[in-house]
Amino acid sequence: MTTIGILGTGHLAEFLIRGAAGKGFGFLVAPSRRAKTLGARPDVTLAASNQQVVDGADLVLVCLPARDGLAILQTLRFHAGQSVLSAMAGTRLAPLAAAVGPAAAHCTMMPGHANAYGAGPCLLYPADPAWHAFLATLGPVHGFTDETAFVTATAFGALSGASFFLMDSLTRWFAANGMDGSDARRLIAETLIGNATVLLNETASLAEITPGIATPGGITEALVRALGAKGALDAWHPALDIVLTRVRGES
Ligand SMILES: NC(=O)c1ccc[n+]([C@@H]2O[C@H](COP(=O)([O-])OP(=O)(O)OC[C@H]3O[C@@H](n4cnc5c(N)ncnc54)[C@H](OP(=O)(O)O)[C@@H]3O)[C@@H](O)[C@H]2O)c1
């Protein structure tokens, strides 16, 4: 059993503990409102303080609020041989390493809720076998050797969250037009899973795939044209630019 210490025992921590259940990990978690409920799990031990988490685990996972996380880490004493993985949005390696030294520093990003089902892709920078083994229990792992590419990829965390709002909006439209709400919810989820399966399995490019999907004069073409006329598809790029500015630490 490998012990992982968790600083910031909130929503993400709970998703990750649920996803890793029964896969060889135990958790020593920092006090919080949510920690009390999580403490009822057999794989979770409650610590009395953040420092007790750091003292009790060689692998420390940081799920603290992104705004205050580094300042909180600077108040703690880490030791050589420890490894710290930050899941906080916008964490850059150099300031993290400075805050947790002499421990080793690593960064990750994941969707969160999907990890509770072992289905959320996880980013890891730089590579590390111990963290890779943990993240692999939560979904496919994407290793990075280049920080610029890693930071850009972390914007997918916001995309993941936004996709719930898209699914909610679509579900409400189908329900408002006479479909049972729970049937609509399942249909939308199955449609997106199916199309994602195409992307994961076909070797053809999207430019080659889309002509076979949008029949000239058909309903897909009509929908895509109407969305394009409203700028709905192009709007993703400037919106993701805002996220990128945030995760780069530029705003
Ligand atoms: N939620 C996601 O799906 C997701 C996905 C990827 C990355 N992230 C990242 O994960 C981090 C946490 O997000 P979250 O959604 O889990 O937030 P959250 O639910 O608010 O959890 C944050 C936790 O940190 C605790 N905390 C605050 N100050 C603390 C301190 N000084 N010492 C110890 N614990 C402290 C809070 O305790 P109290 O509740 O007692 O105040 C809370 O339990 C963020 O940096 C975010 O960027 C989240």
With H, G, I as helix, E, B as strand and everything else as coil, classify residue 26.
Answer: strand
Nearest residue by C-alpha to atom 37 in ligand 1: 32
Mutate to test the pocket of ligand 1, among 9, 12, 38, 156 (most ligand atoms within 8 A of CB): 12
Q: Is residue 35 predicted with pLDDT exceeding 90?
A: yes
User: Hey, whose CA ends up nearest to atom 24 of ligand 1?
Assistant: 8
Which of 63, 85, 123, when mutated, tests ligand 1's pocket best, judged by the most ligand atoms within 8 Å of its CB? 63
Q: Please state, in angstroms and as integers, the Cα–Cα distance from residue 50 to each residue in 30, 142, 221, following that order.
A: 5, 29, 55
Whole-number mean pLDDT of the chain?
Answer: 97
CA 185 to chain centre: 22
What are 128's two structure tokens? 């590390």
Secondary structure (DSSP) of 170-199: HHHHHHHTT--HHHHHHHHHHHHHHHHHHH
Residue 214 CA, ligand 1 centroid: distance in Å: 42
Q: Which residues line ligand 1 (CB under 6 A)?
A: 7-12, 30, 32-34, 50, 63-66, 69, 72, 87-89, 109-110, 112-113, 157
Strands 104-109 and 122-125: antiparallel
Q: Which atom of ligand 1 is nearest to the CA of 32?
A: 40
Residue-wise pLDDT tens digits, 229-241: 999 999 999 999 9
Mean pLDDT on 218-228: 97
Residue among 11, 46, 53 to mutate when testing ligand 1 (max atoms within 8 A of CB) = 11
| Residues 118, 120, 126, 129, Cα dihedral to 10° | 10
Q: Where are the beta strands (DSSP E) in the chain?
A: 2-7, 25-29, 44-46, 59-62, 83-86, 104-109, 122-125, 141-143
Distance CA 164, CA 111 (A): 11
pLDDT of 251 higher than 90: no
Q: How far is the C-alpha of 152 from the C-alpha of 182, rounded, in Å?
A: 35
What are the chain's domains?
Answer: 2-153 (3.40.50.720), 158-247 (1.10.3730.10)
Give residue for tokens 């919080």.
Answer: 32
- Spell out the residues 6+ positions from residue 182 whose beta carbon is closer than 8 angstroms to its own: none
First to last CA, the chain: 41
How many whole angstroms from 45 Cα to the centroid of ligand 1?
Answer: 18
* pLDDT at residue 102, rounded to an integer: 98
Percent of residues, the chain, with pLDDT higher than 90: 98
Report, as an integer, the average pLDDT of 1-11.
97
* pLDDT at 70 (0 to 100): 98
**pLDDT for position 175:** 98
